[in-house]
Structure 1
Amino acid sequence: MVIEGAAGRIDSNRQSAAVELVSYLVLHPGAEHQAIDDALWPGRLVNKQMRNAVISRTRSWLGKDADGGAFFPRVQGTGGSRYRLAQAVT
């Protein structure tokens, strides 16, 4: 899978995890962190720092729209501590 229109940069060795995360969130908007952990790292115990690093890199890679809104908003702005992409991401 390829992500088109990402405004930022990401190291090639980090891109596959970011693509997996974006793909998962497109199909499962409003996912909690446990669901993301299970989807991206099945059968592994994932610490918060590892997950947050992937989320942060992905957020930076996707960037912002023309109005400055993040394509991958912070959890605090989504309500209910759930991860979702902006509606413009399809």
Structure 2
Amino acid sequence: MSDAGQPHHPVRPRWVCRADGQPWPCPQARAALLRDYDGDLVGLAVHLATMLHDAVRDLYALDPDDAPEPAALWDRFLAWLDRSRRRAAR
């Protein structure tokens, strides 16, 4: 799927990227979120925690047997922020 010109926003309730079909937030969405929040990692973390909450609700309502494990969703939505924070501190 081509992502030319498409925003990397989530498609609910499956939580895949509208532009490239990858699990959201895809790498391009993460980069855009970092730019949009301009160094405010706490604000971004609060936003992503809210999105994580919505994703858990949607994905488990859609198919609880096929929903990602909670740890995988944590990694997908929030764990990458710690890596970004560590890179910025260097």
TM-score, length-normalised on structure 1?
0.39
Greater percentage in helix: 2
